Amino acid sequence: MLKRIKTAGSFSANGTFAIVASKYNARFVDSMVRAATAELKRAGAKVRIVRVPGAFEIPAVAAKLADSTLSSQLSTRPSAIICLGVIFQGQTSHAQHIGWGVTHALAQIQILHRLPVIHGVFVFEKQEHARVRCLGRKHNRGREAAHTALAMAKIMAGLEPRTF
């Protein structure tokens, strides 16, 4: 059972958040991008969106955005990176391999760079499942990803070294 999404009214952000989203299955992904962007902007965050051809390409861009050595070229390192994509299960195991590969890569980027990388790349068996989770106003995984990114950015900022 899906839970109704609460608004991010309790969150405020003054950082930059990156959204890396696939162009493939655009109807569903675009809806998640719009919902995530609206939530981040409502919280006062700056948003940078990078579109890639498909879900498998998301980790390469996420890794580059997370690389702190590039922060001067990107103007600032993001407070969190939200990765959004939709994969539909077909007659072969290809979709599962893509999903597992993306999941593993995003986890590694998050650990290596100590930066929240929000996993919003979904493998669906049916388009109806994607419609409910990606297109709905009550339940939109893009909005949920933005909430998670805001919460994680706040947590990570609270863990920065402090002088005693």
Residue 68 lies in a domain: yes
Active site residue 94: yes
Q: What is the CATH number of the domain that holds 54?
A: 3.40.50.960
Distance between CA 74 and CA 159 in Å, rounded?
A: 24
Structure pTM?
A: 0.88
Distance between CA 28 and CA 35 in Å, rounded?
A: 11
Distance between CA 158 and CA 147 in Å, rounded?
A: 17
pLDDT at 124 over 90: yes
Place of tokens 């070229």: 73
More confident residue, 63 or 137: 63
Residue 4 lies in a domain: no
Residue 1 lies in a domain: no
Whole-number pLDDT of residue 161 = 73
Average the pLDDT over 90-109 and give the result: 94
Residue 7 lies in a domain: no
With beta carbons less than 8 A apart as the criterion, state whether 65 and 34 touch: no
Whole-number pLDDT of residue 80 = 97
**Which domain range does residue 88 map to?**
16-156
Q: How many domains does the chain have?
A: 1
Residue 161 lies in a domain: no
Whole-number pLDDT of residue 68 = 67
Whole-number pLDDT of residue 8 = 45
Residue 5 lies in a domain: no
Distance between CA 50 and CA 16 in Å, rounded?
A: 13
Helix/strand/coil (H/E/C) assignment for every residue in 4-73 = CCCCCCCCCCCCEEEEEEECCCHHHHHHHHHHHHHHHHHCCCEEEEEEECCHHHHHHHHHHHHCHHHHHH
**pLDDT tens digits, one per residue of 11-52:** 566 789 999 999 999 999 999 999 999 999 999 999 999 999
Place of tokens 């655009």: 26
Distance between CA 43 and CA 10 in Å, rounded?
A: 8
Q: Provide CB contacts within 8 A for 50, sequence distance 6+.
A: 18, 19, 20, 21, 61, 65
Residue 11 lies in a domain: no
Whole-number pLDDT of residue 69 = 60
Chain mean pLDDT for the chain: 88
Residue 23 lies in a domain: yes
Whole-number pLDDT of residue 96 = 93
